[in-house]
Structure 1
Amino acid sequence: MNPRTPAFPSKTPNMGTTIFTVMSALATETGAVNLGQGFPDFGCDPKLLEMVTQAMNEGLNQYPPMTGVAPLREAMSAKIQALYGRHYDPVSEITVTAGATQAILTVILAIVHPGDEVIVLEPCYDSYVPNIELAGGVVVRVPLTPGTFRPDFDKIQAAITPRTRAILINSPHNPSGMVWTREEMLRLQDILDPTDVLLISDEVYEHMVYAPNRHWSAAQFDGLAARAFIVSSFGKTYHVTGWKIGTVAAPASMSAEFRKIHQFNVFTVNTPMQHGLARYMADPRPYLELPAFYQHKRDLFREGLASTRFRLLPGEGTYFQCVDISGLSVPEKDLGEAEFCKWLTTEIGVAAIPLSAFYGDGFDQQVIRFCFAKKDETLKLALQRLARL
């Protein structure tokens, strides 16, 4: 008897391996400096590790409440109040998640019915579209303005229909580094005001905004906060991306729907890490000082790139820097973004990500993205190699 594995129709026939996995594997294979995937190559504050270890030693190792441990929800409530002037009830309006990606998927599963439309602004983080499709929703793609990546509100307004369930925004923006202004947030508020459209506000890079810019959270606008799921990430803020811990803040009625899905998705999140993070948040300096920390790295990287023929795009926020490759004087500049990034990795020894990977139709505008969340010596090595261009 030869057992046969049953064949079945794929739910996601068009879904492949992410570009981040592909480029990171190529960087490892070739020994390239990996400025592709967005993670630090340096450690977190040892004090944070000590606080997590202390929580473990205190026996805080069993299931926490489904919504997250109370001290961490209370710490997030206090932080949002201090930074953005809005109170979220830590009992009914803040939920601890297994990272921001799980948070966004859970929001979408909670609110999107089959056939509902969800607006995404392209280029967008690569989990958004699969999340919507898994929920049976219809993806409505609205392009950000090429070159500046600023929102086009005429196109956003035109995309709203009676079937629009939600719009997903991301500021500071991955991959471009664009930061929404106060005026842009107010314009979105005005557009959404007469509708029942929900807002998913991905704010994981909230503490990586560089002067003279500032982060405007959906929590700061009454009309947006009343309809918004606001997603935050401890991994991004505290250099612990592998911990996969984030939060969702939303009005109580919306949080109740979110938690219905969350309880059967992951149920809950790593207990001692939650307690360690809660204790660490008693000192606000780590996240208040983060903009200056990353601005130094951004400036170091931009200064080095200025000696190449890359054209620097604005770097208002995040730990990403986008560059236009159309002015390079190498034959490979005529490759598409994806092929250029593979060439850059194998021949120059630096991995980057093509912006075309963030568009559904693979729109190629000759722009690639580097991550500068690296040690200074890592950035200097990458710049030394890139100087060949």
Structure 2
Amino acid sequence: MRDPKKKLTDSEVKTILERTPMTERLEDFERQEMKEAFLEAVRTSSYSSTPLTPHFVRRIPYWVGVGGVIAACAILFFFAWSNMGKTPWSGDEGIQPTRENSDFDGRAYFKRDADSPKSATAEIDETTTGVQSSDRVRVNRVPWESLCGPRSIWVAAARLGVNLDLNEIIESCDMSEKGCSMWDLKRAIEPLGFTAKGMRLDPDSLFDLESPAILLVNGNHFCCIDPTESSEDGRIRYYDPPITATWVSKDEIQRKWNGEALVLERQKKTPKQGPSLKLDTAFNDLGMVTDKSAETGYFPIHNEGDSPLEILELNHSCGCIEAEATLNPIPPGESALVVAKMALQGFDGIRSEMIEVVTNDPQNPSEVIVLQAEHKRTLVLST
């Protein structure tokens, strides 16, 4: 055993320090003093009553609070985002369709009819059509100005011979306060017996279409055009309800339209047994007329069945309109006209009247047709 008083060499000290823990190099009395000092510090400390729990356990309330704040922010962000309008291509499963698997061009459009002359807040009822509303309406908290998409759908379908319920179209479009997208319009109309193709066209191709189309004009507004109606100077019919129809030229279209169109067609159906009613159009807007005592609209009607089609009744919405069929009954494969004459004498403004065509078609016993015109009287000042 080494004499403790004998001086150690530097190498021996280094060896001892490298292999021996600090507490083992202390004398017994020094270790005892350190222990007592530690216990005394614990007894006198303000934290002596605090349980000796792990650090991560003591932080649990903090992280719970942070998580709650994050969850609340996420919920608020979700509701705010859901009210900001429609996202492009909101498919049924929430998956955005691609250009490869769709005939649509992929852009989404929001509309706001800033130029609408309507300014009241009446409620819309179940019988309201796309052209009937004496005042501004709100449907499911959607302002009237944001309904130009569903109204254009209604006009296009009516021009193809089907009078739809505007409320049903609005619900199918999943409207928000900012309106809806052209993709929403496509999804809304196709289950109702139509095909809707998104196209990019030039004015010449647009004017050559053989069916109505919905256009986005001025960057934020939907309207309907029907190239099957044309004037002698080459203009086509332009619909922007509740304003009455007007004529529009290629130059006028080109100035406010950037080429996107949703072209509608009726889906073809197999011939039915018995009489079968089909209308070429269910909506005839005569536009602006001046100083007329009456105005007449024509509605072609076809029998696509294999037995005679009888027109049983022509019910009018008011006594100001008269209607009659040019042929009754209508033989299989033949056509006739429902001629409607609407009185305008003494009337100033837009007049829109309905006629219910009741037939012996067992599957489609009645159809509603609409005749509309805006009459303007010339003021004569007597001297």
Q: Give the TM-score of the pair, scaled to structure 2.
A: 0.21
- Where relative contact order (Cα < 8 A, 6+ residues apart) is larger, the structure is 1
The structure with more radius of gyration: 2
Higher strand share: 2
Higher helix share: 1
Q: Give the TM-score of the pair, scaled to structure 1.
A: 0.21
